Amino acid sequence: MYQLLASLGARQRVAIALIAALAATAFTIQLAGSASAATKHHRGKHRGHITTQTGSATGLGQLSGLLPRNKLTEESAIQVNLNNDTVRLPIYPGDAPVPGNPGHTERVWYVLLDASDQGLAHDLGVNYAPKLANIGIGDPAAVQTVTEDNPSPQANPFGPAVVHFQGAPDFSPTRTAVPGPTGFPLKSFSPGSVASDGYSPFIRIAGSDVVYSAPIVATGDEIVPGAAIGMFAARKDFLAKNRDVVIRFAMAYLHAAKEFNAAAMAPDQHQDIVEILAKLTALQKPELVRAIAPHWSYTNEDGVPNVKSVMAQQDYWSDYFHLVEKKVPESQLFDLSIAREAKARLDREKPFGN
C-alpha cells in the first residue's frame, strides 16, 4: 500500500526569483508541509501538553491532553486528543466512479484502520483483525475488490500508490431527523451520505486474500477549497519606515504570481517557468512539474489574501488544538492597502512590460 534562463533585465530577474519563491510555497506546503507539520507538532510542542490527569476515582484512566503513543492501539494514528475527542489519521488517495455518473471518476480519500493479515497490520500500523477475512463469506459484495497502481519510487516520489475503488459514498445529501410528538418514532428522516453501487468500506486488492477496513472519508481534489496556505507578513514599524520598498516588492511579486498562474494552466507554453520550478524545488524534473499542472496551488493576482480563510484557521488551531494562546482580531492582522496600492501601480506603471 506504501509505496522550474534566458538573458533578462534586472527587473525581470526579480520577478523570476519571486516565481521561485511562489514555487517553494506552492510545492513545499501543498505536497509535504501538512504531513511534516503534523509530525513536528506531535513530537515537539504537543509533548509539553500531555497531562497526567486521570479518572482514577472511576477507573477511566487519562481524561484530557494528548494520549501518549504507547497507549495507542492504532499505531499509525498521528494524534489522539482527549480535550476535543479527536483522532488524526493518515489519509490516502484513490479514485472511484462519480456517484450518479459512473462514466467519470473523481479523487477520493480514505483511511486505513484494520487488516486481516498480522504482518501487514504491523507494517501499516493498523489493528490486526483476522475475522475481516470472513466478511465476504456468503456475501461477496460485502468486500470491494480494488486495484492499485504500482509506480516506481522515481515516478511517485511524494506518496502512496493510488487505489482504484469500484464505488464511493455520495456525501452531498444532508442528514435530517425531525422528531415526532413524543420524540420517537421520528416524524421524518433522510440519510446523509449514501454509498453508490459497488462501494464497501472493506476492500481486497485484486490478487490478494487480505481484507482491509479502508473507508472513504472525503471526495474531490480539494479537501478545503480556497484555503490560504501562505502569505507575507511584516512588522508595523518596518512598514511605517519602508512602505515604498514593501510596495515595490509586492509589485514584483504580483507580476511573478501572474506568470506562475499562467504557467500552471499551460505549462507547455511557459517552459522557462517550468524549468525554474523544477530546479528550485524538490521535484527537480520538468516533466514532474508539468505532470501535476494545474494543481500547483493558486496565487491571487490582486495580492489580497483570503482573510476569511486565515481567520477560520486561527479559530481552528486555537479552539481545537490550543496552539494559539490569544486570538488576534482581523483589524490588527491585515493592512490590505499595501496590496491594493501595489496592484494599482503595477497596472499603471507596467515596470515589467505587458
In sequence order, the β-bridge partners of residue 194 are 170
Is 274 a domain residue? yes
Report phi then psi at 171, rounded to 5.
Answer: -90, 5
Same domain as 195, residue 253 = no
Same domain as 20, residue 64 = no
Same domain as 172, residue 80 = no
Is 293 a domain residue? yes
Last residue of a domain, one of 214, 235, 254: 214
Same domain as 41, residue 15 = no
Is 4 a domain residue? no
Same domain as 340, residue 239 = yes
pTM score = 0.56
Encode pLDDT of 73-86 as tens digits: 899 999 898 888 88
Is 219 a domain residue? no
Q: Which residues of the chain have a pLDDT value below 50? A: 1-52
Same domain as 210, residue 230 = no
Is 281 a domain residue? yes
How far, in Å, are 96, 107, 114, 144, 282 from residue 164 at the CA level? 6, 10, 19, 10, 27
Provide the CB-side half-sphere exposure for 146 (13 A, CA). 34
Encode pLDDT of 189-199 as tens digits: 988 888 888 99
Domain count, the chain: 3
How far, in Å, are 10, 245, 333 from residue 254 at the CA level? 16, 14, 20
Same domain as 122, residue 188 = yes
Cα separation, 133 vs 116, whole angstroms: 6
Is 263 a domain residue? yes
Last residue of a domain, one of 214, 234, 262: 214
- Which residue range is the domain that position 185 belongs to? 112-214
3 state DSSP class of 63: coil
